Structure 1
Amino acid sequence: MRRHELTDHEWELLAPLIPRASTGRPRVSDRQVINGMVYKIRTGISWRDLPERYGPWQTVYTRFRRYAIDGVFTRALQQIQSQADAAGDIDWLVQIDSTIVRAHQHAAATGRKGGGHRPDEPDDHALGRSRGGLTTKIHLACDGKGRPLALLITPGQRHDSTCAQALLDRIRVPRTGPGRPRRRPDRVIADKAYSSRGLRSYLRKRGIACTIPEKNDQQRHRHNRGRRGGRPPAFDRHVYRRRNVVERCFNQLKGFRGIATRYDKTATSYEAAVSLASLLLWARSL
């Protein structure tokens, strides 16, 4: 095993989750191709610069794009989460947050205006202009052990609170037996950026407890209204101390240089890369 390649244990977990062709001519080994994808995401190099030991770079890239468009890595991530949930290994004290990723000039050359040619590809390719230039934002929900449960890719200027509901709706852990997938955390922890009436009402309707500090201006507004302002939202400082787990999860994801800087032109490819990195974090924790 070379550096940045799958261990035997990781491949044993991932191999059943990767689709295999049942007909056609013999193709490059699945493990060899997946190792090429991992190497590319881990180092951030260009597809054309992949070492020859992973086979033709066109083969690795073509299969990665096929997997990205078909949602292979997203389904594989859900399946490995399902196995962990069946073993009681998921801590449903869920934390949500986001991080900004700078887009490389190669990712920015997309002809962004009206550039989405596929129904699942946004017109702006999840590229937005903020203080750092063209950026992308990764919204993440992780379990209490710092492993990704759901992710959402948006332009960099998108505010966290407007994406919280869409992010939580993406949590979907299938059951290994009969029954609906689990979609509801026991509790959600978030920082002040997520403090809004809309999100608190959404969580209350779903029966999800939350630990979100109230913004200073919201506190003043409530005090100024007197009795009409209502009671302050419940806040447990001891539980809130665990919010650093999501920061550590981002730290692990950004250990992949292809995640810390966005080189992919399309949001579909970049989301697939983040899903593959998340899949490896899960495989290494089991």
Structure 2
Amino acid sequence: MSDDLVPDDLWERLAPLLPPRPPRRHRYPGRLPADDRAALRGIVYVLRKNVSWRDVPAERTGCSGVTAWRRLRDWTEAGVWPRLHEVLLAELRKAGLLDMDDCAIDGSHIRGVERGAHAGPSPVDRARPDSKHHLIVDRHGTPLAVSLTGGNRHDVTQLTPLLDLIPRIRGVRGRPRHRPGRLFADRGYDYDKYRRILWACGITPMIARRGVPHGSGLGKTRWVVERTFARLHQFKRLRTHYEIRADLHLGLLQLACSIICLRRLRTSF
């Protein structure tokens, strides 16, 4: 059975964060539960290949797709994915690979096929049910925080929620870092109200002005967020919002952000 879906470095960081299993019955213990690492293989398989949960190959992952979905549900409800992301961000900061002096923010539409939570009429796709990924990254494109909304939500409405979602990143001596120095954004965020909010938080807003010709030079720093969206959407499950439960799609999105952070750690050695 191949472990390429869940390499050792990913599993070593995730295993301590998993919630404890409930105690088994002594007289009638029943069937042994599937291995957690095998369940994670099933989750990552769906994240990468975008197959239905019932089509997860048990001979490759070591568990059924139903078991993988249940572990995704349980681990999402336990808050495992944000903690994993925070652990990796702290390692990046400790290695000097995190630069929060300049950050960028943006949103990206994805197709939605379920009329569940966080799905709304898309203004760019004839009012079909749609969702949106909102992302803030550091200067190198490392994802700091991510959120999910309906496709009819304006990008600027997620500016302050995303800033609040950035964890207090440790890794070096001193106070944890959780605020960027400067924030780059496109014309969709051009509102003086939000500029004042950023200034009040100690963040310098670098937001393009509407009605001003292109060529401001902000794109030289802001393009990294588009590259990170491209990397996220290489995980095929994230290109379309299939899950009826929005928290499960968000959990997969946070897992993908953690994998991107882990890849950056690997390339630094």
**C-alpha separation between the residues in 1 aligned to 2:206 and 2:107?**
17
**Which residue in the other structure is 2:159 paired with?**
164
Q: Where do 5+ consecutive residues of structure 2 fail to align? A: none
Cα offsets for 1:24-72 (capped at 9, x unmatched): 3753222211111000011111111110133122221111001112221
Cα offsets for 1:148-181 (capped at 9, x unmatched): 1101111101111122111111111342578664
2:93–2:172 Cα contact (<8 Å) kept = no
**Which residue in the other structure is 1:35 paired with?**
41
**Which residue in the other structure is 1:7 paired with?**
7
Comparing 247-256 with 83-92, which one deviates more in the overlay?
83-92
**Which residue in the other structure is 2:67 paired with?**
59
- Deviation, structure 1 residue 240: 3.8
Give the total of aligned pairs: 251
For the aligned residue pairs, the C-alpha RMSD in angstroms reads 2.3
Q: Does 1:207 align with 2:202?
A: yes
**C-alpha separation between the residues in 2 aligned to 1:3 and 1:72?**
21
1:43–1:256 Cα contact (<8 Å) kept = yes
Match of 1:129 among 107, 116, 121: 121
Summarize the alignment of residues 1-286 of structure 1 with structure 2, pairs less than 5 Å apart: 2=2, 5-21=5-21, 23-24=23-24, 26-53=32-59, 54=61, 55-92=63-100, 93-104=102-113, 107-108=114-115, 110=116, 125-130=117-122, 131-132=124-125, 133-176=128-171, 181-216=176-211, 237-238=216-217, 240-286=219-265
Comparing 76-85 with 155-164, which one deviates more in the overlay?
76-85
> Which residue type is aligned with residue 15 of structure 2?
A
SS of the aligned residue for 1:273 comes to: helix
SS of the aligned residue for 2:34 comes to: coil
SS of the aligned residue for 2:152 comes to: coil
2:208–2:218 Cα contact (<8 Å) kept = no
- Deviation, structure 1 residue 237: 4.2
2:46–2:237 Cα contact (<8 Å) kept = yes
2:169–2:176 Cα contact (<8 Å) kept = yes
How has the CA–CA distance of structure 1 residues 17 and 284 changed in structure 2, closer, same or farther, with 3 Å as cutoff? farther
Overall identity of the aligned pairs, in %? 33
1:127–1:154 Cα contact (<8 Å) kept = yes
Greater relative contact order (Cα < 8 A, sep 6+): 1
**C-alpha separation between the residues in 1 aligned to 2:13 and 2:167?**
20
**C-alpha separation between the residues in 2 aligned to 1:78 and 1:12?**
15
**C-alpha separation between the residues in 1 aligned to 2:21 and 2:129?**
38
SS of the aligned residue for 2:161 comes to: helix
1:211–1:240 Cα contact (<8 Å) kept = no
How has the CA–CA distance of structure 1 residues 193 and 129 changed in structure 2, closer, same or farther, with 3 Å as cutoff? same
**C-alpha separation between the residues in 2 aligned to 1:261 and 1:10?**
25
How has the CA–CA distance of structure 1 residues 141 and 283 changed in structure 2, closer, same or farther, with 3 Å as cutoff? same
**C-alpha separation between the residues in 2 aligned to 1:197 and 1:63?**
44
* TM, length-normalised to structure 1: 0.80
